[in-house]
Structure 1
Amino acid sequence: METPTHALSVNIYGRGDATLGDGPSHIGIAVYEVGARTCEIHHIRNPNDTDFIYDPRTQPLQDDSVLRGRCELTAFRSVEQKDHAARLLSNFGRNDTNIPEFGVGNCQDWVAKAIQMLEKAGVVPSGEGQFWDDMINLSTEAMQDRCVRSGRTWIPGPEQVFEGEADARFVDKGDVKPVGKLMQNPALRERMLALAGGFLLVIL
């Protein structure tokens, strides 16, 4: 059997625990080469508090101070398989009818529907779409627990304690502002400046 060369996971950012006053976790779908330090993330964000936009980008796969963890969905044994999945996600994302209305849905709804699309296309296993639809509005800890109990592979993030809004307003170019209370850590500060303007860092 051929060794997997690429993979696809759901990456989860923020604690997302409503009992602690958190907003929902931000999640996106990552496509990446096995062993790579970066991934192509497919997600939606809310830059203006009125609308969501599809905003694919290249960013760290694992070395990310706000990543709580990722749940692997499937592996690919060729670049062609990976490119096919990436094209499907790109086409899905560019279709505005797939983007939820602000205040009605969020990034978690978008990811669940994107996975349902991938399931219909035969890219991910049967039942994956419903699995992630049932994840909507759960805490990150609960998502991790369900991933592990279902036999899926869960890879923990760097374990910074981080509370965030579901829209994850990844900062626009030229609009970089300090956010929340940062640890006296240059790497963390740099990452926070590059990430969500709607996030609040919680240091415990």
Structure 2
Amino acid sequence: MDPPTQPPTHAISINIYGRGDATLGDGPSHMGIAVYEIGASTCQMHHIRNPTDEYFIYDPRVQPLQDDPVLRGRCELITFRQEECQHVNSLLSAFGNDASNIPEFGVGNCQDWVAGAVAMLEDAGVLASGEGAFWKSMINEGAESMKRACGDSGRKWIDGPEVVFEGEPDARFKDEGAKKKIGKLKDNEAFRERMQTLMGKKSSGGVGGGEAGERNVPERPFYVSSPFFSQTNRRG
């Protein structure tokens, strides 16, 4: 008799932060790859961020898996056993620490990096064939479009907290100690002012900034920051 198959204990998901709806004037959602123990409250997050408006850095960290006020949702890719967890994290660390995999600021962003990392995991046999192409096709899509695509393709989508609309956009994912005010865009003056600053609009132009301001908006480098990403992971 064959020994009983051990149930999976760990999983990988793509976490999407911020609405990312270009039709509503949003910048792209932030994305990262979470590796976590099933049922745990935290995960090992693999992502890139830009500490300056010049370049991205790979910035792995332990952070909340689900309890994040600007998490729109996450798409679970695969479950596996504990002994495979170190291998998965090692593959992602090697990919992240290879500077050639990090996109040029203003040309690509965290979404391109995630798609590339997923393709790498596919090539390594961790993920199923076609996973890399799927996430490449999600680049520049809004969070709701990603949710629909995940559901339509049979992937498991898990909604994020429903108590927020979105947080303050932060192109740099700066290491700041204080959390940002969270609230609806129309009621959040700090959100609007920061958005104008990020997009290079003059405050005297109003919230909309005018057509001239909109034409000068960089299409992709900006995305909504999670308050948790503003905290430097000091473990290790």
TM-score computed with the length of structure 1 as normaliser: 0.85
Correspondence 1:38 to 2:38: no
Alignment partner of 2:106 out of 87, 99, 103: 103
The answer to whether structure 1 residue 76 and structure 2 residue 80 are counterparts is: yes
> Would you say the 8 A contact 1:15–1:141 is kept in 2?
yes
- The residue that corresponds to 2:89 in the other structure is 86
User: What is the aligned length?
Assistant: 186
Residue 58 of structure 2 is aligned to residue 54 of structure 1: yes
Counterpart of 2:128 in structure 1 is: 125
Say if 2:57 is the partner of 1:23: no
Deviation digits for residues 4-28 of structure 1, max 9, x if unmatched?
Answer: 1000000000000000000000000
Deviation of the 1:192 alpha carbon: 6.0
Q: 1:2 to 1:130 in 2, by over 3 A?
A: same
Structure 1 unaligned regions, length at least 5 = 184-190, 198-204
Match of 2:147 among 144, 155, 158: 144
Describe the SS at the equivalent of 1:47. strand
**Amino acid of the residue matched to residue 53 of structure 1?**
I
- Once the two structures are TM-superposed, the CA of residue 80 in structure 1 deviates from its matched residue by 2.0
Q: Equivalent pairs: percent with the same residue?
A: 61
Checking the alignment, whether the CA contact within 8 Å between 1:25 and 1:164 is kept in structure 2 is no
- Alpha-carbon distance in 1 for matches of 2:64, 2:178: 20
- Aligned CA distance change for structure 1 residues 168 and 196 (closer, same or farther; 3 Å): farther
**Separation in 1, partners of 2:148, 2:227:** 30
TM-score (norm 2): 0.74
The DSSP-based 3-state class of the residue aligned with 1:52 is: strand
Deviations 1:119-144 (A, max 9, x none): 00000111000000000000000000
Structure 1 counterpart of 2:119: 116
Task: Give 3-state SS (helix, strand or coil) of 1:123's partner.
Answer: coil
3-state DSSP class of the match of 2:120?
A: helix
Partner of 2:229: 195
Say if 1:10 and 1:195 are closer, same or farther in 2 by CA, change over 3 A: same
Q: Describe the superposition over 1:64-96 as per-residue Cα deviations: whole angstroms up to 9, x where unpaired.
A: 11111000011112x221111100000000000
1:180 deviates by 5.4
Q: State the one-letter code of the partner of 2:29.
A: S
| Aligned-residue offset at 1:171 | 3.1
1:126 and 1:164 map into 2 onto residues whose CA distance is 36
Partner of 2:137: 134
Q: Provide the residue aligned with 1:188 in structure 2.
A: none
Alpha-carbon RMSD across the aligned residues, in angstroms, is 2.1
CA distance in 1 between counterparts of 2:158 and 2:49 reads 23
Structure 2: runs of 5+ lacking an equivalent: 185-224, 232-236
- Secondary structure in 1 aligned to 2:145? helix
Give secondary structure in 1 for the equivalent of 2:106: coil
Q: Residue 192 and residue 150 in structure 1: after superposition, are their counterparts in 2 closer, same or farther (change >3 A)?
A: closer
